[in-house]
Structure 1
Amino acid sequence: MPSVTNEVRIVCWNIEHNGRGRSGGDDHRDLARDILASIEPHIVLRQELTGAWDRGKADLYAEANRLGGLVPFMPAPREGRSNNPVGVLIDPTMFCVDAYFEHDLPSKAICNPRVRLKGCPKPLNLASAHLCHYDPDLRATEARRITTLADSGRSALVGMDANSYPHTQLETVALPDWDKIEDRVHYQHRTIERDGGRISDTRPDEILSGGARPVFTDLALHAAALSQPGALAATASLKRTDQGTAQRIDRIYGTPDVAAALVALEVYADDAVAEVSDHALLLARFDLDVLRRALTPTR
């Protein structure tokens, strides 16, 4: 994939089990790194860094090195919790790292480096999140915690596996028909009570990008408004069929100033991506000059 010099490329990807394969399955780590390297990303927002903390974080550094020497961050796995941490990898030739935070929540910690686009005074909060897969109430709490990254006029960009659904009527993928899904556990994990019935859980998206004064812009919806309907394609699962049709559960959000620099949001779910993971890869392309102006506010 040819690179474009005047753009910033940001990838969000849940690489299933970090490409290691489950129960002795095929190892796809090299293929995953090749796919990412072909994009030449400046920022990678990763989910399911399974095993990447082991052996001195060897897998994490192997991915960062394969991508041209990106600077990697990830929280340590927490005892008794998910063993699939998230992470963020950053191009040090384009961004300076100002600080690093971890938001420790009962399921998975949120990885939150704070960076500056070189030459720009305003910081940018980056975050990778993987919302709780089993508890809708905890997902709502996690989403509210993410809103704090935009507090006090801060700029932020967040990529996640939301394990929940978009809330608007503008989607091109219909929400699950729960009468046709026999997995009772999945039903409990992904639905909420509302108006006396059970519906698909859309609360995280409502908290992040809903209402009259939304905190974030859903970049796929913004791209669709820029005549890119493919940005609203389903992202997961690319493999399972027992939990209903694939849905747009992987999303990237930006504060409005950052979203204004978006040029395109692309969803990659080709054979190579599907061989690696049950999640599509999201690529957000930003105009570098517009982003630079957004992060250089006038007094």
Structure 2
Amino acid sequence: MTTHEEELRVASWNIEHNGRGRDGGEDHRHLAHDILAEFRPHVLFRQELTGAWDNGKRDLYAEANRLGLIPFMSLPKEGRSRNPVGVMIDPSLFLTDAHFDHDLPWKAICNPQVRLKGCPKQLCLASAHLCHFDPSLRETEARRLTVLADSGRSALFGIDANSYPHRIGEEAVSLPDWQQVADRVHYEHRTVERNGQRGSDTRPDEILSGGKGVFVDLGHYAGTVLKQPGALAATASLKRTDQGPAQRIDRMYCTPDLVPALRHFEAVVTDEVGEVSDHALLVARFDLAVLRRILTPTH
């Protein structure tokens, strides 16, 4: 069994409205930080960093300081989403080489490029929150994510995909029955036309992990290959009932070269997680020694 000292822990979480509480609701920021601190992540992919840029990015640094991590965040632009994404990394394990924001029509992708200390090969990290209202834009965002793996690069990222896994028969949760979904706007946002019929939008996942497999869906791999219970659990919405049953829309991906290092993956759905957000917390654990070997090519 891999010990805590021998593993790399990676988390991804859409903390609803950054834990601030919508419309005067309860502030859950401290509880969110406490939950994350229990898992001691070395890498954290965050979505919905709402308001984290205010007051000199005070909220961003408060979260990073609580976790002992260095933060990166894409900044919102006028007329676009006010819920940016970010990545945080453990400075005791990683050196930062560069930080890019991939500017897209609705929301940027936050993309630091790092190296595990002592390893020569770079690792591209990214956090993304695909557009909630436009399937065509989600396709563009997914195709943009594929550039992370260009030229033989190694990559690892977490996303709120706002769309569905494409290997329908291998999932633990059935896709929505759209005849039973009450929210008509949600139907327009989450369905696409194929062969003259409307159905669930699975195109981003097809782009990312279908075809020749640019990336591997860690939840799918853990659930089907490693046979780990809970890896394919639904992630959102944990609260709403008018959009059909919860689905596995939050996912983590990596390039195929990193997969041998994966040891465990889970979608954490507890009462406390549900109190903070309408999304589950994703946690992946990698064998750090194997990961170091992968990122130290012999030729």
Q: TM-score, with normalisation over the residues of structure 2?
A: 0.98
Match in the other structure for 1:172: 172
The one-letter code of the counterpart of 1:39 is F
Match in the other structure for 1:78: 77
Provide the rounded CA distance (Å) in 2 between the counterparts of 1:257 and 1:294. Answer: 7
Q: Which runs of 5+ in 2 are unaligned?
A: none
Match in the other structure for 1:207: 207
Alpha-carbon RMSD across the aligned residues, in angstroms, is 1.0
Match in the other structure for 2:237: 237
The DSSP-based 3-state class of the residue aligned with 1:263 is strand
Summarize deviations over 1:131-165 as a string: whole Å, max 9, x none: 00000000000000000000010000010000000
The one-letter code of the counterpart of 2:231 is A
The DSSP-based 3-state class of the residue aligned with 1:23 is helix
* 1:92-241 alignment, distance < 5 Å: 92-168=91-167, 169-211=169-211, 213-224=212-223, 225-241=225-241
Match in the other structure for 2:292: 292
Match in the other structure for 2:250: 250
The sequence identity of aligned pairs, in percent, is 71
The one-letter code of the counterpart of 1:43 is V
Deviation at 1:221, TM superposition (A): 1.1
The one-letter code of the counterpart of 1:178 is W
Provide the rounded CA distance (Å) in 2 between the counterparts of 1:178 and 1:292. Answer: 45
The one-letter code of the counterpart of 1:15 is I
The one-letter code of the counterpart of 1:245 is P
Match in the other structure for 1:87: 86
Provide the rounded CA distance (Å) in 1 between the counterparts of 2:241 and 2:297. Answer: 47
Match in the other structure for 1:55: 55
The one-letter code of the counterpart of 2:125 is L
Provide the rounded CA distance (Å) in 1 between the counterparts of 2:183 and 2:267. Answer: 27
The DSSP-based 3-state class of the residue aligned with 1:80 is coil
The DSSP-based 3-state class of the residue aligned with 1:146 is helix
The one-letter code of the counterpart of 2:229 is P
The one-letter code of the counterpart of 2:232 is L
Deviation at 1:66, TM superposition (A): 0.3
The DSSP-based 3-state class of the residue aligned with 1:199 is strand
Q: Which runs of 5+ in 1 are unaligned?
A: none
Deviation at 1:222, TM superposition (A): 1.0
1:276 paired with 2:266, answer no
Provide the rounded CA distance (Å) in 2 between the counterparts of 1:134 and 1:259. Answer: 32
Match in the other structure for 1:5: 5
